Structure 1
């Protein structure tokens, strides 16, 4: 844990950046399917969303800038090779699954029971992976 006097993140918030290929399609998915709230839009190439108490920044692909001279922002190239995913802890996985499916989320499988956990996975339009998980401890 970081000491309060030496905390470099005092009064800060964490934002996750997701690179998307089609901003309109992604906006529809995150707002209409997942229920995210639009905080701010920047000229059609970036969108700030509030989702479950967190910030998501959707951006379109882009190349290096002066402050990140060797970095390229790209959409996931192979949807079945994941380096980042989200887990959303839910009260009732089956109920959440049905609601999201009805709204247009495409799941990899229906809810699967693994011991005290029931979970299933879906992707956004660009392949970013989400899990909904119910834990019965």
Structure 2
């Protein structure tokens, strides 16, 4: 493991995404074998470098001194989400095909949303992952505003 592979900046900041997972080896395999990330650290915590970012994974657990009222657990209801990982790609159709062949399960094939082509998949713990390719967005065509509810 090289120091440069770790999410530890010399100055400023960088963004990582932490996932509470039920089975670290299973999740590590998904982010490395299916999505093509590089395992930087296998356990405690698991760190996978994915493109220009890092996914950090550990099992859930109860409160700790630095988060005294917070317990962590993987998603429990696949029909709701409060956040999701957003992966931007250059060729969504190629990614959809390759990742599907490697076992990724997409909710739908890529759909044209005017500003972008996008689709969603889930990781082994049920985390929602958006995969998108900017198309119209790069030409000043933006998405429709969300429907008011």
- The DSSP-based 3-state class of the residue aligned with 2:27 is helix
TM-score scaled to structure 2, two decimals?
0.78
Q: Which residue of 2 aligns with 1:4?
A: none
Tell me, in whole angstroms, the C-alpha distance in 2 between the residues paired with 1:88 and 1:15: 13
Q: Which residue of 2 aligns with 1:16?
A: 17
Aligned Cα root-mean-square deviation (Å): 1.6
Measure how far apart 1:13 and its partner are: 2.2
Tell me, in whole angstroms, the C-alpha distance in 2 between the residues paired with 1:84 and 1:20: 15
- Name the structure, 1 or 2, with higher relative contact order (CA <8 Å, separation 6+): 1
The one-character-per-residue Cα deviations of 1:80-123 (angstroms, maximum 9, x if unpaired) are 21111122221221111001101110000011112242111101
> Unaligned regions of 5+ residues in structure 2, if any?
1-9, 140-149
Q: Which residue of 1 aligns with 2:133?
A: 134
Tell me, in whole angstroms, the C-alpha distance in 1 between the residues paired with 2:91 and 2:47: 28
Tell me, in whole angstroms, the C-alpha distance in 2 between the residues paired with 1:94 and 1:66: 45
Runs of 4+ in 1 over 2 A off after TM superposition: 9-15
Q: How many residues align?
A: 127
TM-score scaled to structure 1, two decimals?
0.85
The one-character-per-residue Cα deviations of 1:54-92 (angstroms, maximum 9, x if unpaired) are 121101011111121111011111122111112222122
Tell me, in whole angstroms, the C-alpha distance in 1 between the residues paired with 2:12 and 2:42: 23
- The DSSP-based 3-state class of the residue aligned with 1:95 is helix
> Unaligned regions of 5+ residues in structure 1, if any?
1-8
Measure how far apart 1:10 and its partner are: 4.2
Task: Confirm whether residue 47 of structure 1 aligns to residue 46 of structure 2.
Answer: yes
